[in-house]
Amino acid sequence: VRTIDWVDGAIEIVDQTVLPEQLTVRRIETLDHLVSAIQELAVRGAPALGVAGAMGVAQLALSGAGIDEVRTGAARLRAARPTAVNLAWGVDRALQRLEDGPGSVLAEALAVRDEDVAACISMGLHGADYLRAVVPDRDISLMTVCNTGGLAAVERGTALGVAQTIHEQGWLQEVVPLETRPLLQGARLTAWELQQMGAPFRLVVDSAGPFLLSRGAADAVVIGADRIAANGDTANKVGSFSLALAAKHAGVPFVVIAPESTVDMSTASGADIEIEDRGAGEITSFGARATAPRGTETYNPAFDVTPHELITAIITDRRVVHLDRGQELSTVPLQPSRQS
Amino acid sequence: VRTIDWVDGAIEIVDQTVLPEQLTVRRIETLDHLVSAIQELAVRGAPALGVAGAMGVAQLALSGAGIDEVRTGAARLRAARPTAVNLAWGVDRALQRLEDGPGSVLAEALAVRDEDVAACISMGLHGADYLRAVVPDRDISLMTVCNTGGLAAVERGTALGVAQTIHEQGWLQEVVPLETRPLLQGARLTAWELQQMGAPFRLVVDSAGPFLLSRGAADAVVIGADRIAANGDTANKVGSFSLALAAKHAGVPFVVIAPESTVDMSTASGADIEIEDRGAGEITSFGARATAPRGTETYNPAFDVTPHELITAIITDRRVVHLDRGQELSTVPLQPSRQS
């Protein structure tokens, strides 16, 4: 089952709000449904949001809406999650074909989907080669946060896709996923994916990650990204920054793995990235049960920003940028995507 | 209501497993009840565990048990939580009076209780003076983890007791408590105590703490301690280490506040501190609801160890040890406890 796909004239997604208890496909027929699905994180992950953005525009164009109406809807879709650049990127790619008619818009959305499948294979290979150089002589342990596997993309993921590639190559010792509060994408989604692929793992609470790094629990930290600024500063799930500090302290590589479409050269640095605040409800209750006293105020940043000086390398489908060796996104050339 | 007290011939505790929904006093009549209450964290916090240890021995002695039986029971009580040194310290203080008869043992346990009340007042004053020097000219914001308030002691707390003292003095801008997974002592207990005292606060998930420090969200981090080794390395709730790294990165003080009884000069360094692993259940489910797939393995360290070089100062009821100025626990002399 693909995480997001175009099936019989509509978008279908694996509903990530009910995993791991249920594996349910949700069919999305309208823009309202899609915006809701994005905001409640039924579909999430930078690559999947890129596909959702493009398919959302295609669906609107195919519905018979006029060009102005499609543009208005596209703006709404674009704004559904402000930090993730891929959503806007996917919307814009589809919009560029609007003058050519709905069929062309759909073709572009399907291309975005197919390119993601290929990009994730390429990232897995680049990432595995990079980490083989870090740990040349034994099996590797990787720490990660949030979910960056197939559930964050179409078929295979970004950072977790690298772990999957290494597992397929036979030299993955263990993954240490952080549970990822408040919505537990690590506990619910990453643990589920690791079980599906038969990879060994031990789940930990978020704040244990930095300490366990200091005790040698992982050879490297691998994370995805929601937006990578021109200077390499990276917005990703909250918790990434603290892992980066701890990786530096422990002397292990901290590696960002994301498709080229996550690199946003129009954002100069992390200071220019808007951080989505998702409100109190996610923190003060769990399901129907209160976890904090009534009236508790919160600050709930969905993302944090890791400064480029704490990042060892940025690995995309088309290049490896060694920030720790002084390389920069603006100068390292793109290579063709790898498929082996 | 005191968190732990001796009432009509038995121990009474505020049951911390049901807060903030219910404020319930649990009466403890046997050693079995006390060991269970400690292990399920119905009573918790280093100072409160010291009192629980002493009162547990007194209760056993008063029950008519012979001296050997009391010693056997005391050994069980001592081992109920391995990381917290105060539990063993309280047990040992009461045991020292065993030859003088049950009445003397009880008198010692009541002295442990009364000394804690006084020690927390003294820590509050020392801590407030220390932080006034850090932020001399405006109201202060403090970040903290777990619960170190009155619920962790008898009447007032350690790190949160400092925030309370500053609030009473009128210059507390805000507390930023971390929710403290897996058992949410920050969300359930610290938020509740802050509400009770009318202090402004915003609750955050654990992994947001380090990032928010980097964005200037607090002027200092204040934490308690479960054991302080001779070189200043400090075992405290998991998450402390990552806050210490982030405080260093942000250039704000990271201050440990605990009674002298938490200082364990017989433990040379953090490498000698046993870290309690509390098992998978706390991470893989919340109440009756699964949060991770069946069969998920975990690593669940209840504590972490912050190395002394990341700690700015250790403040006890009887001294301020400026680690950042090269002072050491072994050389800074004890002063009388302060009451004003």
Q: What is the pLDDT of residues B154-174, one digit of tens each?
A: 999 999 999 999 999 999 999
Q: Alpha carbon of B124 to those of B129, B140, B155, B165, B166: distances in Å?
A: 9, 15, 12, 6, 8
Contact predicate A284/A296, CB 8 Å: yes
Percent of chain A with pLDDT over 90: 97
Cβ-defined contact of A20 to B299 (cutoff 8 Å): no
Given a cut of 90, whether residue B288 has pLDDT beyond it is: no
ipTM of the complex: 0.95
d(CA B339, CA A338): 70
3-state secondary structure at position B63: coil
List strand residue ranges (DSSP E) for chain B, in order.
Answer: 4-7, 10-14, 25-28, 140-144, 172-177, 220-223, 227-229, 234-237, 254-257, 263-264, 285-286, 289-290, 303-306, 313-315, 320-321
Percent of chain A with pLDDT over 70: 100
Contact predicate B236/B245, CB 8 Å: no
Q: If you count DSSP H runs as helices and E runs as strands, how many of each does chain A have, helices first?
A: 11, 15
The H or E element spanning position A245 is: helix A240-250
What are the structure tokens assigned to B265, written together? 């000069």
Residues in CB range of B327: below 8 A, 6 or more apart: B321
Q: What angle do CA A71, A74, A78 make, to 5 degrees?
A: 140
- A151 at B interface, C-beta within 8 A: no
Please give the pLDDT value at position A112. 98
Q: What is the pLDDT of residues A247-302, one digit of tens each?
A: 999 999 999 999 999 999 999 999 999 998 999 999 999 988 899 999 999 999 99
Please give the pLDDT value at position B19. 93
B240: phi then psi, degrees, rounded to nearest 5:
-65, -45
Given a cut of 90, whether residue B87 has pLDDT beyond it is: yes
Strand order in the sheet with B25-28: B4-7, B10-14, B25-28
d(CA B200, CA A94): 47
Given a cut of 90, whether residue B287 has pLDDT beyond it is: no
- Considering only the C-alpha atoms of chain A, give the largest distance between any 2 of them, rounded to a whole number of Å: 60
DSSP state of A340: -
Please give the pLDDT value at position A287. 85
- B308 at A interface, C-beta within 8 A: no
The mean pLDDT value for A239-245 works out to 98
Please give the pLDDT value at position A340. 85
d(CA A262, CA A194): 24
Cβ-defined contact of A297 to B202 (cutoff 8 Å): yes
What are the structure tokens assigned to A331, written together? 């100068």
d(CA A321, CA A95): 30
Please give the pLDDT value at position A82. 86
Of A191, A208, A290, the CB nearest to B238: A208
d(CA A268, CA B292): 38
A296: phi then psi, degrees, rounded to nearest 5:
-65, 130
The mean pLDDT value for A314-334 works out to 98
Q: What is the pLDDT of residues A50-63, one digit of tens each?
A: 999 999 999 999 99
The DSSP line for B148-195 is -SGGGSSSS-SHHHHHHHHHHHT-EEEEEEB--TTTTHIIIIIHHHHH
Cβ-defined contact of B206 to A289 (cutoff 8 Å): no
The H or E element spanning position A167 is: helix A159-169
Contact predicate A237/A278, CB 8 Å: no
Cβ-defined contact of A238 to B203 (cutoff 8 Å): no
Preferred mutation among B183, B211, B289, B310 to probe A, highest tally of A CBs within 10 A: B211
Closest CA of chain A from B321, distance in Å: 24
Among candidate residues B205, B201, B191, the one with its CA nearest the CA of residue A183:
B205
> How many CB atoms sit inside 10 A of residue A336's CB?
8
Contact predicate B254/B248, CB 8 Å: yes
From the list A226, A233, A264, A304, the catalytic residue is A226
Q: What angle do CA B256, A143, A148 make, to 5 degrees?
A: 120
- A93 at B interface, C-beta within 8 A: no
The mean pLDDT value for A5-19 works out to 96
Q: What is the pLDDT of residues B69-78, one digit of tens each?
A: 999 999 999 9
DSSP H helices, B198-275, are 208-214, 240-250
B184 conformational bin, left if phi > 0, alpha if psi -120 to 50, beta if neither:
left
Residues in CB range of A79: below 8 A, 6 or more apart: none
The mean pLDDT value for B258-276 works out to 96
Q: Alpha carbon of B126 to those of B120, B123, B146, B165, B316: distances in Å?
A: 10, 5, 21, 10, 8
Residue B305 forms beta bridges with which residues?
B235
Q: Chain A contacts of B293, Cβ < 8 Å?
A: 20, 191-192, 195
Q: pLDDT band at A157, cuts 50/70/90?
A: very high
For B328, what's the count of Cα atoms within 13 Å in the CB-facing half-sphere?
Answer: 8
Among candidate residues A278, A283, A225, the one with its CA nearest the CA of residue A81:
A278
d(CA A135, CA A77): 42
Contact predicate B248/B240, CB 8 Å: no
Among candidate residues A1, A88, A95, A97, the one with its CA nearest the CA of residue A52:
A88
Identity at B154, one-letter amino acid code: V
Least confident residue range of A147-151, B17-21, B233-237, B295-299: B17-21
Cβ-defined contact of B242 to A295 (cutoff 8 Å): no
Q: What is the pLDDT of residues B104-141, one digit of tens each?
A: 999 999 999 999 999 999 999 999 999 999 999 999 99
What are the structure tokens assigned to A102, written together? 């709905």
Percent of chain B with pLDDT over 90: 97
Identity at A73, one-letter amino acid code: G
Residues in CB range of A300: below 8 A, 6 or more apart: A182, A277, A278, A279, A280, A282, A283, B204, B205, B208
Please give the pLDDT value at position B70. 98
DSSP state of B236: E
The mean pLDDT value for B311-323 works out to 98
d(CA A326, CA A111): 34
The mean pLDDT value for A109-138 works out to 98
Q: pLDDT band at B1, cuts 50/70/90?
A: confident
Quote the pTM value: 0.96
The mean pLDDT value for B291-316 works out to 97
Q: What is the mean pLDDT of chain A?
A: 97
Residue with tokens 């946060």: A145
3-state secondary structure at position A146: coil
d(CA A74, CA A63): 13
The mean pLDDT value for A73-83 works out to 95
Closest CA of chain A from B189, distance in Å: 8
Residues in A 19-78 with any Cβ partner in B closer than 8 A: 20-21
d(CA A65, CA A69): 6
User: What is the C-alpha end-to-end distance of chain A, expressed in Å?
Assistant: 23
d(CA A291, CA A301): 18
- B291 at A interface, C-beta within 8 A: yes
Q: What is the pLDDT of residues B230-257, one digit of tens each?
A: 999 999 999 999 999 999 999 999 999 9
What are the structure tokens assigned to B61, written together? 């002695």
Of A242, A293, A295, the CB nearest to B207: A242
Please give the pLDDT value at position A25. 97
d(CA A198, CA B101): 61
